[in-house]
């Protein structure tokens, strides 16, 4: 028979192991897919990148092209920070795009970002977070500055949506205005437009938030809802020479693919 004191020790060890196992399990990211493709949009458009798509989103945009990743029953794989780091290293590319779904829903995203920014060999990583504009970006902005002050070699960039009325009135109203104040020339705000009203909305919001001198303003068409030529004409006629028309390269190159691109 095991002495009571020794038995208590065994129980303590088992409890510690159980807590460790639960904590490790809790830090797994729900990854809907991961792949290497060309960056179809954003400031690194055209560059090969390692994409990590997390499942789940707090928004329901009318034109969402990754709605499958937001379904409550979507199949996911649990990946830890070390596993994702190892996978990124295997890809051999230096651009990493964290997307979704909505990446800022992931509670351990700061751990992953800091680990990615710490990579030095074979070269530092350019890490981009694509976020829908409704979640508080300030903690990640503070993390970016802390990592820079600590001398981490990677760079962190934000592409933040500003949802137009075409995305849905409630969706557009859910934007966190303060998010756009933490951006700088490393970042971009993306307006996805589907109508002339959306274009006027884009111009007004960019003026109001002084985005033109703060960051890059990207204007993308809702695929099939508005012609790129209409957007181009608007930008030219309104003298918006600091805006940038953006076409989703992946939809041009792989028009019939919705995953892995």
Q: Is there a binding annotation on residue 38? A: yes
Nearest partner of 65 among 48, 52, 53, judged by Cα: 53
Q: Is there a binding annotation on residue 65? A: yes
Could you give phi then psi for residue 128, rounded to 5 degrees? Answer: -120, 135
Q: Is there a binding annotation on residue 63? A: yes
Q: Is there a binding annotation on residue 57? A: yes
Q: Is there a binding annotation on residue 198? A: no
Angle at 95 between CA 89 and CA 101, to 5 degrees: 100
Q: Is there a binding annotation on residue 147? A: no
- Rounded to a whole number of angstroms, the distance between the first and last alpha carbons of the chain is 61
Q: Is there a binding annotation on residue 181? A: no
Q: Is there a binding annotation on residue 95? A: no
* DSSP category for residue 238: T
Q: Is there a binding annotation on residue 215? A: no
Task: Provide the β-strand partners of residue 216.
Answer: 188
Q: Would you put residue 111 in left (φ > 0), alpha (ψ -120 to 50) or beta?
A: alpha
Task: Provide the β-strand partners of residue 177.
Answer: none
Q: Which residues fall in the annotated binding site for Mg(2+)? A: 66
Q: Which residues fall in the annotated binding site for [4Fe-4S] cluster? A: 57, 61, 64
Q: Which residues fall in the annotated binding site? A: 38-40, 53, 57, 61, 63-66, 99, 101
Q: Which residues fall in the annotated binding site for S-adenosyl-L-methionine? A: 63-65, 101
């Amino acid at each position: 028979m095991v002495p009571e004191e020794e038995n208590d020790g065994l129980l303590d060890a088992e409890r510690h192991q159980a807590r460790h196992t639960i904590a490790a399990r809790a830090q797994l990211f729900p990854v809907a897919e991961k792949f290497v493709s060309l960056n179809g949009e954003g400031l690194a458009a055209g560059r090969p990148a390692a994409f990590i798509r997390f499942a789940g989103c707090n928004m329901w945009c009318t034109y969402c092209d990754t709605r499958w990743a937001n379904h409550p029953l979507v199949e996911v794989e649990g990946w830890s920070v070390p596993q994702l780091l190892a996978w990124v290293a295997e890809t051999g590319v230096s651009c990493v795009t964290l997307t979704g779904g909505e990446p800022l829903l992931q509670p351990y995203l700061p751990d992953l970002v800091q680990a990615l920014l710490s990579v030095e060999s074979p070269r530092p990583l350019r890490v981009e977070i694509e976020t829908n504009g409704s979640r508080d970006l300030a903690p990640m902005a503070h993390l970016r500055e802390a990592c820079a002050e600590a001398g981490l070699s990677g760079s962190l960039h934000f592409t933040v949506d500003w949802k137009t009325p075409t995305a849905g009135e409630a969706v557009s109203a859910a934007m966190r205005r303060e998010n756009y104040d933490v951006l700088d020339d490393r970042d971009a705000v993306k307006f996805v437009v589907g109508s002339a009203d959306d274009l006027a909305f884009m111009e007004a919001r960019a003026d109001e938030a002084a985005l033109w001198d703060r960051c890059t303003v990207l204007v993308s068409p809702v695929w099939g809802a508005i012609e790129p030529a209409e957007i181009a004409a608007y930008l030219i006629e309104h003298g918006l020479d600091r805006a940038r028309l953006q076409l989703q390269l992946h939809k041009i190159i792989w028009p019939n693919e919705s995953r892995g691109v």
